[in-house]
Structure 1
Amino acid sequence: MTWCDIPASGGYWLRDARIPGTPAERLERVDLRVVGGRIAAIVPAGTAPDGPSLDGGMVLPCFVDGHAHLDKGHVWPRSPNPDGTFMGAIGAVMADREARWSAEDMRARFAFGLRCAHAHGTAAIRTHLDTYLPHARLTWRIFAELREAWAGRIELQAASICPLDRFAGDEGEAIADLVADHGGVLGFVTRLAGAGHAAIPPGFQDLLDRAFALAEARGLDLDLHVDESGETAAATLPVIARTALRRGFRGRIQVGHVCSLSLQPDAVIAETIRLVREAGIAVVSLPMCNMYLQDRAPGRTPRWRGVTLLQELAAGGVPVSVASDNCRDPFYPYGDHDMVEVFQSAVRIAQLDHPLGDWPNAVTATPASIMGLPDRGAIRVGLPADLVLFRARFWHELLARRQSDRIVLRAGRPIDTTLPDYRELDALMALTSG
């Protein structure tokens, strides 16, 4: 089937499709009825009287990317990471931001990333925005413009990102107000300015309580970059969970990375997972970026995958998703805002198979729930017909290829899945690499 087979107007059936069941690994063979841009019926395959046939091809809901960095995307050609390390990435991004992040530059790169994600079938994204005053006011203004411009195509959320010590004093109030004014999520990294995730920073508990208080006063959710290193001394996640429990925090909390958890002793792991579950904290893993940055040393093959304990967290009752994170910037020079690639990579890196179980939900239903989007990440009667159609018939086929022939439906109609050309960004780049 091609997009040309789908009627240009009126209702229609998609016959002989495979959709995720319960668990998601189990595929159900069905016919789907689409009327008025929504799913009107889901019936056993062979029921529909007419309509294009998918010949047993898989249909997934449009994807939800719960952790991205669209403001810094696609700067790699002009600002590569000098050594591939985490600190090298921080330095390169800071220099690029200070020298280059004009309104025109951010708007073009941000929109380029959105066009890639849209073409690949993503319907919602939470992006972290570098929030360093006074420049942050421009960043959040560009975000607000693009959120409005892309409404109906990609639902955009934003979270601040800056070192935790930025929340001290009047600056913290100003950052929290800026986030609240734009309907955002309060976010930060659990390290201090200029430092890495080597240990729990001095004064961490007081600074953490300060950030929680700023969020509570404004009714904001939290989204934190946590323990992004291989240092077991960087164990801020249990402190965050205990703080949320002690304060009775009522908002949603998501934490990302949590790399060092996988190197902790078993007893510490078990206690951390218990606390995270009790505090209602969700975890998002960024497997591609963490594989690139973590355990990197010159001339040595990494001994450690860099990802957190996805399987153990999920088994312990913690909501776990996977997301794209950085794209073509000093933190990760690759990627294309494609959640199929993210899911394929996560399965391979973290061995999320045997069984695959509900892990497909990690790029659909789970991040949708975490982001408070009840109409995203599922295929149900009454929901928008925002679907991704594949020739692949089984998970092993979907995971084997890039699926470049997918068809993306939005409100039941095919969209143009042509990807933007990198040459469109050449005017913004001082090209330094081939």
Structure 2
Amino acid sequence: MDVGIKDGRIISLRQHLPNDPNVLSAGQLIQAEGRVLLPGFIEPHIHLDKAFLLNQMTQDANSVEQAIASTLELKRSFTKKDIEARSIQVIQQAIAHGVTHMRCHAEIDPIVGLLSLEVMLKLKEHYRDQITLQIVAFPQEGIQKQPGTEELLIQALQLGADVVGGITYQDGDLQEHLTTVFDLAKAFNKPLDLHVDFSDDPSMLAILTIIRMTHAYGMQGRVSVGHLTSLGSLPYGEARTICQSIAEAGIHVMSLPATDLYLGGRGDDHRHRRGLTPVSLLLEQGVNVIYGSNNIQNPFTPFGTADPLDIGMLLAQTAYMGSKQDVVTLVEMVTTRAAQALELTNYGLHIGADADLVLLEASNLRSAVYERAPRRFVWKRGQLVASTVKQTTFYHTQMSS
């Protein structure tokens, strides 16, 4: 195919014809030579302000509770300069890996106040021509548990936060917590992004209350949930029924395998559970499932490169997604499906869309994903923002006769 770009938008998309005069007259001509061109990748769930904390940790975290406690202590010493430096490191890695949109969660609580939000707002403006940031006002430590947090969330939304965040396993009163965040989302006309049921305990099913409230508040299609790992511990029949209800409510599910696999299943002394939400079952029932990095090298996740294809490959291996159709789904999860969850407009490979694009050093989708092919060029609204070239030299390779 030939793709025409002008003023940051895709203006033509048609079958390639050799010596096409319209193509040859372009101001700049890039010969892709059969490589894979995709819409810019989307990172839908990441914590920039908590990235790269490994060297500051005094001990390892081996559970969700330990990770939360460790991060709570570490963030008491957060400064604007510190948050900014670690966030920039992730953002630059992500851009190099083809990410053109990112939803990041900013810690909002009486401990850090609006410090993280202020940094994210600054970075959002600074990098606006290279990557689009959506900022979630996220009450990691709970709302009722930390008096003053609700007022800070309101301030954050007034200052420019794009999304209301929540976390169902921090406050003792689930209904009160969810009522607060649903009310804020409705009052400010913002989407809702919740950390939900991060556990192997099949009785932890806040998702049922979220489904009910999504309908009650008329927020179908505007609610996303991350983790949802307890659903993976339910018997098939029960899980299937809940997945159907999730689909009917239009709730987007964000699988976070790098964190969920690392912290999940640790209480099992044999036949360890994978600690994932049931991705295939959710997809079968029509749920919009996507994936994200969540954390980069911190107490929750000691790993991470800010490359979405690393996460896609991890999910492929652990959710049994190895078929020809599965790789198409994996690519959709990091592009068009994620765009739906983030309510992006003018996104994709179609005429009129923003020219947010990534050209990979691969000639087919399987090679692109399985080999995490280098991102040859990355464009944001038609402007080149990153380029990666991988070079390998072989020595003494001649075979003797």
Indicate the TM-score class for this superposition, using the shorter chain for normalisation. 0.7 to 0.9
Q: Are the equivalent residues in 1 in contact too, given 2:135–2:162 (CA < 8 A)? A: yes
Q: 1:66 aligns with which of 44, 56, 59?
A: 44
Cα distance in structure 1, aligned partners of 2:59 and 2:215: 39
Is contact 2:225-2:252 (8 Å) kept?
A: yes
Question: Are residues 367 and 60 of structure 1, via their aligned partners in 2, closer, same or farther at CA, if it must alter by over 3 Å?
Answer: same
Q: Aligned pair 1:97/2:79, yes or no?
A: no
Aligned match for 2:205, one of 235, 246, 262: 235
Judged with a 3 Å threshold, the aligned counterparts in structure 2 of structure 1 residues 405 and 238 are, in CA distance, closer, same or farther, namely: closer
Q: Does 1:116 align with 2:85?
A: no
In 2, are the aligned partners of 1:163 and 1:190 still within 8 Å (CA)?
no
2:247 corresponds to which residue?
A: 277
The alpha carbon displacement at 1:96 in A equals 0.8
Distance 1:41 1:140 in 2: 39
Residue 79 (structure 1) aligned to one of 51, 57, 62:
57
Count of residue pairs brought into register by the alignment:
379
How far apart in 2 are the matches of 1:91 and 1:263?
Answer: 25
Give the aligned partner of residue 14 of structure 1.
Answer: none
Among residues 358, 365, 369, which one is paired with 2:340 in the alignment?
369
Contact between 2:191 and 2:223, CA under 8 Å: does it hold in 1? Answer: yes
The residue type paired with residue 57 of structure 2 is: S
Structure 2 residue aligned with 1:358, among 329, 332, 340? 329
1:268 matches 2:268 = no
For 1:189-215, what per-residue CA distance to the aligned partner results, in whole angstroms no more than 9, with x for missing partners?
11125xxxxxxx5x3223322332233
Judging changes above 3 Å, is the alpha-carbon distance between structure 1 residues 152 and 78 closer, same or farther for their aligned structure 2 residues? same
Question: Separation in 1 of the partners of 2:216 and 2:294?
Answer: 30
Answer whether contact 1:167 1:211 (CA < 8 A) is retained. Answer: no
Cα distance in 2 between the residues matched to 1:233 and 1:364: 33
Matching of residue 143 in structure 1 with residue 120 in structure 2: yes
Deviation at 1:390, TM superposition (A): 1.7
State the Cα distance separating 1:404 from its structure 2 match. 3.0
Alignment partner of 2:370: what SS?
Answer: coil
Greater CA deviation, 239-248 or 89-98?
A: 239-248
**1:247-258 correspondence to structure 2 within 5 Å:** 247-249=217-219, 252-258=222-228
Whether the aligned pair in 2 keeps the contact of 1:80 and 1:329 (CA below 8 Å) is no
Residue 392 (structure 1) aligns with: 362
- Measured in 2, the distance between the counterparts of 1:297 and 1:173 equals 34
Residue 417 of structure 1: how far off its partner (Å): 4.0
Structure 2 equivalent of residue 316 of structure 1: 285
Structure 2 letter corresponding to 1:316: Q
What secondary structure sits across from 2:297 in the alignment? Answer: coil
SS at match of 1:358: helix
Shift of 1:74: 0.8
The gaps in structure 2 that reach 5 residues or longer are 390-401
Distance, in Å, in 2 between the alignment partners of 1:384 and 1:214 is 31
State the match for 2:83 in structure 1. 106
Contact kept in structure 1, 2:263 and 2:300, CA below 8 Å: yes
Structure 2 counterpart of 1:204: 174
Structure 1 residues not aligned, in runs of 5+:
1-29, 194-200, 420-434
Runs of 4+ with deviation above 4 angstroms:
167-170
Aligned residue in 1 for 2:164:
186
Distance 1:389 1:332 in 2: 29
Counterpart selection for 2:103 from 116, 123, 126: 126
Give the Cα–Cα distance (whole angstroms) in 2 for the partners of residues 47 and 343 of structure 1. Answer: 35
TM norm structure 2: 0.87
Conservation of the 8 A alpha-carbon contact between 1:59 and 1:388: yes
Partner of 1:288: 258
Note the alpha carbon deviations across 1:211-247, whole angstroms, 9 max, x for none: 3223323323211001111111111101111122234
1:382-432 CA-to-partner distances (Å, cap 9, x unmatched) read 22322211221112212332323532233434334479xxxxxxxxxxxxx
What is the distance in 1 between the residues matched to 2:384 and 2:114? 36
Amino acid at match of 2:168: T
